[in-house]
Amino acid sequence: AYSYSAFPVHISRLTYGQKRLFSRIAEEEEKKKRLVFLGSPGVAAKVLEALVVASRESEMFKIVACVSQPPAAKGRKKIVQKSETHIVAEELEIKSILTPASARDDDFLNTLRHLKPDLCITAAYGQFLPQKFLEIPEYGTW
């Protein structure tokens, strides 16, 4: 299990603009908005943690998937390891964790369409996002 007390991040730590966006989106429809997070290194993992905490404290959005770089050989011994964001997503029990070799992959794009995200948030994902990807979320990709 994952301890949230180690990362005391609240929705109040989001910027004014982020709060306004999420509030406006939530007002348009009474349901939680579907968010997909894209990131790979440790800094992105911290953003994911903050978003998960905020989603659990708020009725504005829920994280439906996390997209990260596929496992890669790291270190001197070239041991294949998952990205830090992938590991954190597993600890946070995010149900759908995607690791496409390319953001242009048709299977990945179809899976993303099936998830029907309202918004995608990126933080150091590490791949170019094609126009086909950017057209999927209703409120865009940040």
Is residue 78 classed exposed, middle or buried when 0-12, 13-18 and 19+ CB atoms within 10 A define those classes?
Answer: exposed
**pLDDT for residue 85 is more than 90:** yes
pLDDT for residue 32: 86
The answer to whether the CB of 123 falls within 8 A of the CB of 44 is yes
Q: How is the chain split among helix, strand and coil, in percent rounded to 5?
A: 40, 20, 40
pLDDT for residue 112: 96
**CA–CA separation, 74 and 11 (whole Å):** 34
**Residue 97, strand partner residues:** 66
Of residues 83, 94, 92, the one with CA closest to residue 124:
83
> What's the pLDDT tens digit per position in 26-45?
665 457 899 999 999 999 99
The answer to whether the CB of 22 falls within 8 A of the CB of 33 is yes
- Tokens 């979320």 -> residue: 137
pLDDT for residue 6: 38
pTM: 0.77
**Residue 98, strand partner residues:** 67
**53-78: average pLDDT:** 91
**86-112: average pLDDT:** 95
Average per-residue pLDDT for the chain: 86
Name the DSSP letter for residue 65. Answer: E
pLDDT for residue 92: 95
